Chains A and B, each alone.
Chain A
Amino acid sequence: MYELRQVDKKFPGVHALKSIDFKIGRGEIVGLVGENGAGKSTLMKVIYGAYQPDGGTITIDSVAVRFQNPRQAMQKGIGMVFQEQSLITNLTVMENIFLGYEQQFVKFGVVNWKAMAAAARAQLAKVKLDIDPNMITAKLSFAQRQLVELAKVLTLEERVDGDLVILLDEPTSVLAKEEVELLFRLVRELTTRASFIFVSHRMDEVLELSDRIYVMKDGEVVDVVSAADANVDAIQHKMVGRDVDKQYYREQKQEPYDADRTLASFDAVSLGKKYRDISFDLRAGEVLCLVGTEGSGREAILRTVFGLETPDSGSVTLKGEEVRAFTARSGVEKGVGYVPRERKVEGLVGGMNVYENMTLSQMRRYSTAGVLRLGEERQLARDWIDKLSIKTPSEHKDCGGLSGGNQQKVVLAKWRSGGSDIILLDHPTRGLDIGAKEDVYDMVRAMSADGVGILLVADTLEEAIGLSHTIIVLKDGEVQHRFDCAPGAKPTLYDLVHYMI
Chain B
Amino acid sequence: MNDLLTRDMLVKWAPLIVLIVLVLMFALIEPRFFSVRNFARIGISSAPALMVAIGVTFIIIMGSIDLSMEGTVSVCAVAFAFCFLALGGTLWSAAWLALPLALVVGAVIGLINGLVHVKLKIPSFMASLAMGFVGTGFALLLTGGDRVRIEDEAFRSLLTVRWFNFPIMCYVALAFLLIAWFIQTRTTLGRNFYAVGGGEELAHASGLNVNRVRVLGFMLAGVFYAVGALLAVGRIGIAETATGSNFMFVSITSVVVGGTALWGGIGGVFNTLIGVLIVNVIGNGMVVVGLPGYVQDGVLGLLVIIAVVLSTDRKSVDFVK
Which residues on A sit within 8 Å (CB–CB) of B186?
110-111, 113
Asked whether, in the complex, the Cβ of B207 is within 8 Å of the Cβ of A99, the reply is yes
In angstroms, Cα B207 to Cα A110, docked, is 21
A50 part of interface (Cβ distance < 8 Å):
yes
Known contacts A88-B198, A88-B199, A99-B195, A71 near B187 by CB under 8 Å: no
Asked whether, in the complex, the Cβ of B202 is within 8 Å of the Cβ of A86, the reply is yes
* A28 smallest CB distance to B (angstroms): 24
In angstroms, Cα B203 to Cα A111, docked, is 18
Closest to A48 in B: B205
Asked whether, in the complex, the Cβ of A95 is within 8 Å of the Cβ of B195, the reply is yes
Known contacts A90-B266, A106-B188, A111-B187, A70 near B202 by CB under 8 Å: no
Asked whether, in the complex, the Cβ of A91 is within 8 Å of the Cβ of B195, the reply is yes
CB-contacts of A11-58 with B (<8 A): 50
Which residues on B sit within 8 Å (CB–CB) of A89?
198-199
Residue in A50, A87, A106, A113 whose beta carbon sits within 8 Å of that of B202 in the complex:
A87
Asked whether, in the complex, the Cβ of A90 is within 8 Å of the Cβ of B194, the reply is yes
Asked whether, in the complex, the Cβ of B188 is within 8 Å of the Cβ of A111, the reply is yes
CB-contacts of A52-95 with B (<8 A): 69-71, 74, 80, 82, 86-91, 95
User: 1/0 contact trace for B14-36 toward A, CB 8 Å?
Assistant: 00000000000000000000000
Asked whether, in the complex, the Cβ of A70 is within 8 Å of the Cβ of B195, the reply is no
* A272 smallest CB distance to B (angstroms): 11
A103 part of interface (Cβ distance < 8 Å):
yes
A152 part of interface (Cβ distance < 8 Å):
yes
Known contacts A74-B207, A100-B207, A90 near B191 by CB under 8 Å: no
Asked whether, in the complex, the Cβ of A71 is within 8 Å of the Cβ of B266, the reply is no
B285 part of interface (Cβ distance < 8 Å):
no
In angstroms, Cα B273 to Cα A253, docked, is 66
**Chain B, interface SS category:** helix
Residue in B187, B197, B205 whose beta carbon sits within 8 Å of that of A109 in the complex:
B187
In angstroms, Cα B188 to Cα A102, docked, is 6
In angstroms, Cα B193 to Cα A90, docked, is 11
Interface centre among A80, A87, A91, A103 (most CB of B within 10 A): A91
User: 1/0 contact trace for A133-172 toward B, CB 8 Å?
Assistant: 0000000000000000000100000000000000000000
Residue in B187, B194, B204 whose beta carbon sits within 8 Å of that of A91 in the complex:
B194
User: 1/0 contact trace for A288-323 toward B, CB 8 Å?
Assistant: 000000000000000000000000000000000000
* B20 smallest CB distance to A (angstroms): 27
Categorize the interface residue count of chain A: 20 to 34
Asked whether, in the complex, the Cβ of A88 is within 8 Å of the Cβ of B187, the reply is no
Asked whether, in the complex, the Cβ of A88 is within 8 Å of the Cβ of B205, the reply is no
* B314 smallest CB distance to A (angstroms): 14
CB-contacts of B167-217 with A (<8 A): 182, 186-188, 191-192, 194-195, 197-199, 202-209
Asked whether, in the complex, the Cβ of A99 is within 8 Å of the Cβ of B203, the reply is yes
User: 1/0 contact trace for A107-131 toward B, CB 8 Å?
Assistant: 0011101000000000000000000
Asked whether, in the complex, the Cβ of B265 is within 8 Å of the Cβ of A110, the reply is no
Closest to A88 in B: B198
* A85 smallest CB distance to B (angstroms): 9
* B247 smallest CB distance to A (angstroms): 28
In angstroms, Cα B208 to Cα A74, docked, is 11
Asked whether, in the complex, the Cβ of A100 is within 8 Å of the Cβ of B266, the reply is no
Closest to A137 in B: B198
Residue in B197, B204, B205 whose beta carbon sits within 8 Å of that of A90 in the complex:
B197
Residue in A70, A74, A86, A103 whose beta carbon sits within 8 Å of that of B188 in the complex:
A103
Asked whether, in the complex, the Cβ of B198 is within 8 Å of the Cβ of A91, the reply is yes
Asked whether, in the complex, the Cβ of A86 is within 8 Å of the Cβ of B205, the reply is yes
Residue in B191, B202, B209 whose beta carbon sits within 8 Å of that of A95 in the complex:
B191
In angstroms, Cα B182 to Cα A69, docked, is 31
In angstroms, Cα B199 to Cα A86, docked, is 8
In angstroms, Cα B266 to Cα A96, docked, is 16
Closest to B209 in A: A71
Which residues on A sit within 8 Å (CB–CB) of B182?
110
Asked whether, in the complex, the Cβ of A88 is within 8 Å of the Cβ of B195, the reply is yes
Asked whether, in the complex, the Cβ of A71 is within 8 Å of the Cβ of B207, the reply is yes
In angstroms, Cα B191 to Cα A110, docked, is 11
Which residues on B sit within 8 Å (CB–CB) of A103?
188
Which residues on B sit within 8 Å (CB–CB) of A88?
194-195, 198-199, 202-203, 265
* B249 smallest CB distance to A (angstroms): 27
Interchain residue pairs with CB less than 8 A apart (21):
A70-B204, A70-B207, A80-B205, A82-B205, A87-B202, A88-B202, A88-B203, A90-B194, A91-B195, A95-B195, A96-B206, A99-B192, A99-B195, A100-B206, A101-B207, A102-B191, A103-B188, A106-B188, A109-B187, A111-B187, A111-B188
The 6 closest A-B CB pairs, nearest first, are A88-B198, A71-B207, A100-B208, A100-B207, A102-B188, A90-B198
Residues of A within 8 A of B (CB): 50, 69-71, 74, 80, 82, 86-91, 95-96, 99-103, 106, 109-111, 113, 152
